[in-house]
């Protein structure tokens, strides 16, 4: 089915960079690809779907753990550390089974859709039943996530995560038993059972150098290499990880990953907060993507990673909501710049266009969807429309739409969302999940009942 959309304004690629154009006709064809982009087309023609506001490419949430959404609020009581936060997270994880995870993840992905997110990279390590027993389908949990994305109408890259150890030379702890396949060969054999679909692609992840012994890293890297699949890894989020890695191997986590073939242009290093000069060089020389998760990193008191330095050295940068302390891709984007401002006491490290690109084109590429994230002929018809007449966005001229989107808008300003030419959010209402707050409330309450 071909559908034509008319956007009041759209942020479009241009020979001189991105520009905001008005009265943009976007035609789509079977398969949900963009067949026509015509700016200055005049008023909305009969039969076209009218989209008031600023149309931007769909947002790619490059790093998600869907079940962390159940922690919102509860982990803000008192103080604690990253490690006490993790203990609470493990308690929630222990309550999930394929049915309850399907319900929770459907609600979380619907929240993402309402925030303008059209593709999620799910860093998935909750593979087995509590204690480590296998489900009848050993991929039942991963399949629940793929189905949840379908129900919420968004794309997913399931980053099936290898997680084998609780630390360097230590076996998994009790809550971690359900994360482990035993060794990387068994992980690969199970991951082989996952198949891509129209809305879903399969990638790999190394949980971290803490959780995957060095002699197992090559197997995961090889698996992703053979499939040309994305490979993601948590990297140096905490200085304790760096210290333990140096103690065990005499090298930094980045160096260890480089020595075992984990870095490269299909790889995303998530966080990359505490790096040495050599780490930065290794990541840049290998064209590894850096996924920053600013709202989670500030929530967990991780520190401010060297995103600007890495980008200047040549690393693409993407954005993720990770623990879902909030789900707001515009907040993630502006936090990248605003963190740098606080850190350096100077302004102007990232343009609004560069920040939007991180959340769209580069984010999709890092998840193995290089044909999404741009409004151009041949690309997937994935886009998000932001209100320019809300209390947050009214006032600036439309030509400053990118600046308004990044520095003033919030998820609450997302008015329409289209994935593959299909409208899944209309006037701020999800078209597939009828009551998203109730779905979140009920699926989270079910975990403590
Ligand atoms: Zn994470």
What is residue 188's predicted lDDT score, i.e. its pLDDT?
Answer: 98
Cα–ligand 1 centroid distance for 292 (angstroms): 10
**pLDDT tier at 17 (50, 70, 90 boundaries)?**
confident
DSSP alpha helices (H): ranges in 228-276? 239-249, 253-259
Cα–ligand 1 centroid distance for 89 (angstroms): 12
Cα–ligand 1 centroid distance for 60 (angstroms): 15
Cα–ligand 1 centroid distance for 192 (angstroms): 23
In percent, the amount of the chain with pLDDT more than 90 equals 90
The pLDDT of residue 1 is above 80: no
Cα–ligand 1 centroid distance for 63 (angstroms): 6
Higher local confidence (pLDDT), 159 or 79? 159
In percent, the amount of the chain with pLDDT more than 70 equals 100
The pLDDT of residue 15 is above 90: no
Mean pLDDT of the chain: 96
If you average pLDDT over residues 12-24, what whole number do you get? 91
Of 103, 149, 93, 36, give the one whose Cα is nearest residue 421.
36
pLDDT, one tens digit per residue, over 360-378 is 999 999 999 999 999 999 9
Cα–ligand 1 centroid distance for 324 (angstroms): 10
Look up residue 147 and give its two tokens: 């189905």
Active site amino acids:
271, 322
Look up residue 20 and give its two tokens: 């905001």
Q: Degrees (nearest 5) of the Cα angle 238, 242, 247?
A: 140
Cα–ligand 1 centroid distance for 50 (angstroms): 38
What is residue 22's predicted lDDT score, i.e. its pLDDT?
Answer: 97
Q: Which range has the worst mean pLDDT, 22-31, 197-206, 348-357?
A: 22-31
- CA–CA dist 166, 154 (Å, integer): 33
Cα–ligand 1 centroid distance for 269 (angstroms): 10
What is residue 82's predicted lDDT score, i.e. its pLDDT?
Answer: 78
Cα–ligand 1 centroid distance for 78 (angstroms): 22
- CA–CA dist 343, 164 (Å, integer): 36
What is residue 91's predicted lDDT score, i.e. its pLDDT?
Answer: 84
What is residue 127's predicted lDDT score, i.e. its pLDDT?
Answer: 97
Cα–ligand 1 centroid distance for 133 (angstroms): 24
Q: Which range has the worst mean pLDDT, 81-85, 143-147, 153-157?
A: 81-85
Instruction: Cite the beta strand spans of 243-316 per DSSP E.
Output: 267-271, 289-292
Cα–ligand 1 centroid distance for 197 (angstroms): 24
What is residue 446's predicted lDDT score, i.e. its pLDDT?
Answer: 93
Please spell the DSSP secondary structure of 28-89, one letter per residue: EETTTEEEEEESS--SPPTTSEEEEEEEEEPEEEEEE-GGGGGGTTGGGSS---HHHHHHHH
Q: Give the rounded distance of the alpha carbon of 385 from its chain centre.
A: 19
What is residue 93's predicted lDDT score, i.e. its pLDDT?
Answer: 86
- CA–CA dist 56, 346 (Å, integer): 28
pLDDT, one tens digit per residue, over 184-222 is 999 999 999 999 999 999 999 999 999 999 999 999 999
**pLDDT tier at 85 (50, 70, 90 boundaries)?**
confident
Neighbour tally for 311: CB within 10 Å:
20
CB within 8 Å of 151: residues ≥ 6 apart: 106, 109, 110, 432, 433
The pLDDT of residue 326 is above 80: yes
Cα–ligand 1 centroid distance for 65 (angstroms): 6
pTM of the model: 0.97
What is residue 14's predicted lDDT score, i.e. its pLDDT?
Answer: 86
Q: What is the end-to-end Cα distance of the chain in Å, rounded?
A: 44
Q: What is the CA radius of gyration of the chain?
A: 21
- CA–CA dist 245, 138 (Å, integer): 31
What is residue 92's predicted lDDT score, i.e. its pLDDT?
Answer: 85
The pLDDT of residue 42 is above 90: yes
**φ, ψ (nearest 5 deg) of residue 81:** -130, 180
Helix (H, G, I), strand (E, B) or coil at 289: strand
What is residue 276's predicted lDDT score, i.e. its pLDDT?
Answer: 97
Helix (H, G, I), strand (E, B) or coil at 7: strand
- 6 sits in which H/E element: strand 4-12
**pLDDT tier at 2 (50, 70, 90 boundaries)?**
confident
Q: Which range has the worst mean pLDDT, 168-177, 180-189, 434-443?
A: 168-177
The pLDDT of residue 295 is above 90: yes
What is residue 369's predicted lDDT score, i.e. its pLDDT?
Answer: 98
What is residue 343's predicted lDDT score, i.e. its pLDDT?
Answer: 93
3-class SS letters over 78-138: CCCCHHHHHHHHHHHHHCCCHHHHHHHHHHHHHHHHHCCEEEEEEEECCCCCHHHCCCCCC
Instruction: Cite the beta strand spans of 100-230 per DSSP E.
Output: 117-124, 155-162, 200-206
What is residue 282's predicted lDDT score, i.e. its pLDDT?
Answer: 98
């Amino acid at each position: 089915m071909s559908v034509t959309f008319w956007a009041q304004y759209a942020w479009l690629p241009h020979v001189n960079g991105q520009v905001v154009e008005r009265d943009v006709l976007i035609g789509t064809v079977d398969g949900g690809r963009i067949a026509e982009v015509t700016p200055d087309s005049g008023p909305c023609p009969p039969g076209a779907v009218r989209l008031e506001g600023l149309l931007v490419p769909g947002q790619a949430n490059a790093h998600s753990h869907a079940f962390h959404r159940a922690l919102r609020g509860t982990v803000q009581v008192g103080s604690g550390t990253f490690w006490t936060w993790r203990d609470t997270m493990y308690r929630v994880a222990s309550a999930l089974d394929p049915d309850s995870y399907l319900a929770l993840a459907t609600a979380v992905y619907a929240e993402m859709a309402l925030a303008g997110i059209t593709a999620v990279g799910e860093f998935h390590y909750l593979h087995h039943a509590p204690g480590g027993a296998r489900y009848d389908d050993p991929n039942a949990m991963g399949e629940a996530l793929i189905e949840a994305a379908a129900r919420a109408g968004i794309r997913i890259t399931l980053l099936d995560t290898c997680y084998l150890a609780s630390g360097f030379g230590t076996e998994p702890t009790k809550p971690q038993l359900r994360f482990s396949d035993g060794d990387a060969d068994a992980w690969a054999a199970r991951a082989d059972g996952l198949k891509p679909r129209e809305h879903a692609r399969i990638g790999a992840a190394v949980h971290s150098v803490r959780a995957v012994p060095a002699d197992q890293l090559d197997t995961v890297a090889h698996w992703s290499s053979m499939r040309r699949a994305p490979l993601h890894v948590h990297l140096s989020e905490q200085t304790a990880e760096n210290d333990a890695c140096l103690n065990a191997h005499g090298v930094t986590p980045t160096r260890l990953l480089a020595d075992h073939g984990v870095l490269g242009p299909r790889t995303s290093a998530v966080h990359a907060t505490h790096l040495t000069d050599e780490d930065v060089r290794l990541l840049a020389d290998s064209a590894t993507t850096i996924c920053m998760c600013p709202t989670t990193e500030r929530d967990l008191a991780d520190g401010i990673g060297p995103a600007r330095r890495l980008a200047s050295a040549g690393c693409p940068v993407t954005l993720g909501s990770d623990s879902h302390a909030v789900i707001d891709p515009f907040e993630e984007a502006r936090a990248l710049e605003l963190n740098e401002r606080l850190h350096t006491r100077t302004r102007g490290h990232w343009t609004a266009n560069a920040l939007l690109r991180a959340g769209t084109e580069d984010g999709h590429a890092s998840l193995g969807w290089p044909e999404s994230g741009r409004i151009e002929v041949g690309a997937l018809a994935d886009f998000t429309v932001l209100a320019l007449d809300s209390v947050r966005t009214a006032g600036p001229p439309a030509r400053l739409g990118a600046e308004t989107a990044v520095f003033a808008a919030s998820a609450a300003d997302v008015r329409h969302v289209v994935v593959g030419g299909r409208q899944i959010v209309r006037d701020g209402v999800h078209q597939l999940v009828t009551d998203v707050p109730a779905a979140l409330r009920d699926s989270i309450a079910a975990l403590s009942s």
